[in-house]
Structure 1
Amino acid sequence: MRIPFNKPYMTGKEILYIAEAHANSMLAGDGPFTKRCHAWLEERAGSSKALLTHSCTAALEMAALLLNIQPGDEVIMPSFTFVSTANAFVLRGGIPVFVDIREDTLNLDEKLIEAAITPRTRAIVPVHYAGVACEMDAIIAIAKRHGLKVVEDAAQGVMSSYKGRALGGIGDLGAYSFHETKNVISGEGGALLVRDPELVVRAETIREKGTDRSRFFRGEVDKYTWQEAGSSFLPGELTAAFLCAQLEEAERITRDRMAIWSQYHESLESLELAGLLRRPIVPLECQHNAHMYYILLPPEVDRQRVLEELKRNDVGAVFHYVPLHSSPAGSQLGRSAGSMAVTNMQSERLIRLPLWLGLSHEQQEKVVRTIKDAI
């Protein structure tokens, strides 16, 4: 019984909606399905504007343009994240300043942020790891004290919340991913959430190659022209049609994933009590979306040996990020603010387990049994 790490889920309406988009003779961006997705995201996140993009990377790049990041500007972020978090700002000449993570949630340690701020700091980029929120009240307060912007990397955070507020809609800007490995998918895809209404028109302009095309189609100008630096960040309407079918089922998808996550959590409790691993920790104020289930091995256990044993038993478990500060580009293009001890330790102990809709109890039992045998 082979158990893959991920299986993209389809609700059943995706092909129907794609056919409808084709019948509408509307395949380029910003058609009816795109507008439906925008409305859903705006209502869910409480943002002034949601804009679909062709990836979460693109949404983060738009954020860097919106914030006018200039060469030498510093942006605080965790090192334990995907490369896009840093690349978006590096492409504008920005300098990622890596801050260590919390031992419990593996999120940016809010207690270390203030010490990393310099006169060149322009923004803080919290990354909501595994769909579990960073300590946003503290981060927003720090940003206000120092006149900084907050860009939420909520790539894994669709349908998650912090104290009742949707992730991605708490900071000045937020970025979602709809990559096939996420909970709600479109193959490739993302979205930028804009909380500040004063940034909406510029966001639309940047997304449309730096033109005021969106204003033209609303009848606000008689022609559209090049207004500022931008690029083509729109996804096609077929991608939006696929995503629309997923968003309509997002509540059910989240509920079903939570059932799988909870089964892992219950099944692995005895191994945690025996000191053989550590399960995820979710603070009370955080409602997560069951994006992933991971375990942390004790330092004395060889992770590679455990992974090889899982692979030998046809269980598709994987590690996660190689910390950016330790990578060739990260050490050249960014800098660390203080010790990265927790980042180094937790990244070397973590294993992600298979989690996808359709994963059976029998398959989960095999995963847990194999982990126990391997450890």
Structure 2
Amino acid sequence: MIPFNKPYMTGDELYYIKDAVSRGKISGNGYYTQKCHNYFNEQMGFRNCLLTSSCTDALEMAAILIDIEPGDEVIMPSYTFVSTANAFVLRGAKIVFADSYKDNPNINADTLHELITSKTKAIVVVHYAGIACDMDKIMNLASTHDLFVIEDAAQAIDSYYKGKRLGTIGHLAAFSFHETKNIIAGEGGMLVVNDERFDQRAEIIWEKGTNRSAFFRGEVAKYSWVDIGSSFLPSDVTAAFLYAQLENLEKIQSRRKKIWNSYFEGLKKLGESGFLKLPNIPDYASVNGHLFYLVCKNIQERTALISFLKQNNVHSVFHYLSLHKSPFYHKDGTSLVLGNCDHFTDNLLRLPLYYELDREDQNQIVFLIAKFFKEK
């Protein structure tokens, strides 16, 4: 079976983990945590970042930082993972779901003005598959209505919008280093702070609501409980694993983008012939090789294709079930029609994409997809 995903190890992960252990401090905010922070700030140009135990944690920190309270409204796409919404629901927010574009799973920036009310506090954008949302439109709209913008960049490491690195545009951003992502730590994430208003408080929330980090830097005589927060920082063992990945970022990205491009070229004729639809990449966006998807005509066709590929030892999967169709959202009788989100829920199919996927296996996947459609 060709798996859907296979975590890639660079070879230095265990070496750095052993080194972290030998240093005698494997709790959070240790030697490798700082090395990762320095890498992101100096090599990737993030203004200020904090490693977290997950992208979910980073989103929850963002919700605390912008002071989400019961009654606040937060606009976000329905076609996303549950963590995007949960982080704000936990603070009491009402989630206002937006539809996708017809030809792109990302949030439709042209419809957001219709969703803004006097209670709206933030817009959360999700850069699906590492493909940028239309950030100029979104940031201009947010500025007009004095709203915060949070980038859910879980899938968007090393991806760009008009040459700007994703995660550097909104007021806050959240990344994931889950084992299914390009750069991994097993579990792990990162909060990026692009607005200096949040710098000091972000560190406090990160450290359980205390000024512990300032104390260890000698900035205060003792540390105490000064705000709400939680234990959002990861073990330094996790950071050590991540640092080995970061050192190989360029190599990993080059390989993943090559695989993505091979899929696109290999399936291009099927797309042009109308058998399926391939990813639509706007002129303002780049490709980071996170995932490759195709879109079938209907759910029956997608189900049949998944079954056909599985019978031929290829593991392909669908993706999100739109959150506006979830039991949790419907528990109070709420009903919402978002046709484009439903279209991707029913018809989008993801293909295997991982560093060690070789050309022979990829050619076999493309061959099988072509065979399926031509024999229908």
Matched residue type, 1:65: I
Match of 2:356 among 349, 354, 358: 358
Q: Which residue in 2 is equivalent to 1:151?
A: 150
Partner Cα distance (2:41, 2:280) in 1: 29
Match of 1:341 among 339, 342, 351: 339
Q: Which residue in 1 is equivalent to 2:133?
A: 134
Matched residue type, 1:313: N
Q: Which residue in 2 is equivalent to 1:58?
A: 57
Offset, 1:43 = 3.1
Partner Cα distance (1:272, 1:257) in 2: 21
Q: Which residue in 2 is equivalent to 1:201?
A: 200
Partner Cα distance (1:332, 1:95) in 2: 14
Following superposition of structure 1 onto structure 2, how do residues 83-98 of structure 1 map, counting pairs within 5 Å? Answer: 83-98=82-97
Offset, 1:373 = 2.4
Summarize the Cα distance change of 1:300–1:210 in structure 2 as closer, same or farther, 3 Å threshold. Answer: closer
Q: Which residue in 2 is equivalent to 1:373?
A: 371
Partner Cα distance (2:268, 2:286) in 1: 20
Q: Which residue in 2 is equivalent to 1:311?
A: 310
Question: What TM-score, normalized by structure 1, do the two folds share?
Answer: 0.97
Partner Cα distance (2:104, 2:333) in 1: 24
Summarize the Cα distance change of 1:350–1:10 in structure 2 as closer, same or farther, 3 Å threshold. Answer: same
- SS for the counterpart of 2:150 is strand
Partner Cα distance (2:83, 2:333) in 1: 13
Offset, 1:333 = 7.5
Following superposition of structure 1 onto structure 2, how do residues 140-179 of structure 1 map, counting pairs within 5 Å? Answer: 140-179=139-178
Offset, 1:45 = 5.0
The percent identity for this pair of structures is 50
Matched residue type, 2:171: D
Partner Cα distance (2:104, 2:342) in 1: 14
Partner Cα distance (1:188, 1:47) in 2: 21
2:289 is the counterpart of 1:290: yes
Q: Which residue in 1 is equivalent to 2:16?
A: 17
Q: Which residue in 1 is equivalent to 2:118?
A: 119
- SS for the counterpart of 2:245 is helix
Partner Cα distance (2:59, 2:45) in 1: 19
Summarize the Cα distance change of 1:44–1:144 in structure 2 as closer, same or farther, 3 Å threshold. Answer: farther
- SS for the counterpart of 1:286 is coil
Offset, 1:163 = 1.1
Q: Which residue in 1 is equivalent to 2:187?
A: 188
Partner Cα distance (2:22, 2:45) in 1: 32
Offset, 1:330 = 2.3
- SS for the counterpart of 1:268 is helix
Following superposition of structure 1 onto structure 2, how do residues 33-48 of structure 1 map, counting pairs within 5 Å? Answer: 33-44=32-43, 46-48=45-47
Matched residue type, 1:185: I
2:103 is the counterpart of 1:104: yes
2:230 is the counterpart of 1:226: no
Offset, 1:334 = 10
Q: Which residue in 2 is equivalent to 1:266?
A: 265
2:123 and 2:147 in contact (8 A); partners too:
yes
Matched residue type, 1:133: A
Partner Cα distance (2:207, 2:37) in 1: 16
- SS for the counterpart of 1:126 is strand
1:101 and 1:108 in contact (8 A); partners too:
yes
Matched residue type, 2:72: D
Q: Which residue in 2 is equivalent to 1:75?
A: 74
Offset, 1:195 = 0.5
Partner Cα distance (1:275, 1:147) in 2: 43
Encode CA deviations 1:292-350: one digit per residue, 9 max, x unaligned: 000001238521111111111110100000000000112347967x7401111122111
Matched residue type, 1:167: L
Matched residue type, 1:370: L
Offset, 1:42 = 2.0
1:124 and 1:150 in contact (8 A); partners too:
yes
Summarize the Cα distance change of 1:334–1:317 in structure 2 as closer, same or farther, 3 Å threshold. Answer: farther
Partner Cα distance (2:331, 2:217) in 1: 45
1:103 and 1:346 in contact (8 A); partners too:
no
Partner Cα distance (1:17, 1:169) in 2: 28
Summarize the Cα distance change of 1:317–1:264 in structure 2 as closer, same or farther, 3 Å threshold. Answer: same
Partner Cα distance (2:214, 2:158) in 1: 30
Partner Cα distance (1:266, 1:148) in 2: 40
Matched residue type, 1:329: F
- SS for the counterpart of 2:175 is strand
Summarize the Cα distance change of 1:335–1:219 in structure 2 as closer, same or farther, 3 Å threshold. Answer: farther
CA RMSD of aligned residues (A): 1.4
- Hey, which bits of structure 1, 4+ residues long, moved more than 4 A? 333-336
2:260 and 2:289 in contact (8 A); partners too:
yes
Matched residue type, 2:103: D
Structure 2 portions without partners, runs of 5+: none
Partner Cα distance (1:335, 1:40) in 2: 45
Partner Cα distance (1:314, 1:327) in 2: 31
